[in-house]
Amino acid sequence: QVQLVESGGGLLQAGGSLRLSCAASGRTFSNSFYTMGWFRQAPGREREFVATINWNGGITSYASSVKGRFTISRDNAKNTVYLQMNNLKPEDTAVYYCAADRTAVVGAIRVAGDEYDYWGQGTQVTVSS
């Protein structure tokens, strides 16, 4: 079993920056390859893909709405994934979720939520205009 805990959310004005963190734990996490992803869900809307990163951090992919503003990264020594969010906009307001997918492929990335095995509880990001 793998546990994911997000942190770093908050309330800020448009144009500001935040860095979200996702700490992973569990016996299998350190012994296997995990693709990681960030998703978000705004009130009244479906969950949407934000960013994904492969096991060694060499491959990433972003939603078009955040590309150029958000950066996903990971520190496997700390079992932590980050989402650096710059130039935030009111439309970025949502609960942000971290997700993990156990994979046998080092280069794998995942953009579909149903491909992920584990999810965190989410952290709220609110951007005011």
- The pLDDT assigned to 104 comes to 81
Q: Which residue has the tokens 């307001």?
A: 93
Cα atoms in the 13 Å half-sphere on the side-chain side of 12: 17
The amino acid sitting at 34 is Y
Query: E strands within the chain?
Result: 3-7, 10-13, 18-25, 33-41, 48-53, 60-62, 70-75, 80-85, 94-103, 118-119, 123-128
Contact 39, 65 (CB under 8 A): no
Compute the chain's Rg from CA coordinates: 14
Tens of pLDDT along the chain (129 residues) come to: 899 999 999 999 999 999 999 999 987 777 788 999 999 999 999 999 999 999 999 999 999 999 999 999 999 999 999 999 999 999 999 999 999 999 888 889 999 999 999 999 999 999 999
The dihedral formed by the CA atoms of 75, 78, 81 and 83, expressed in degrees to the nearest 10: -80
In the chain, how long is the greatest CA-to-CA distance? 44
* 35 vs 37: CA distance, rounded Å: 7
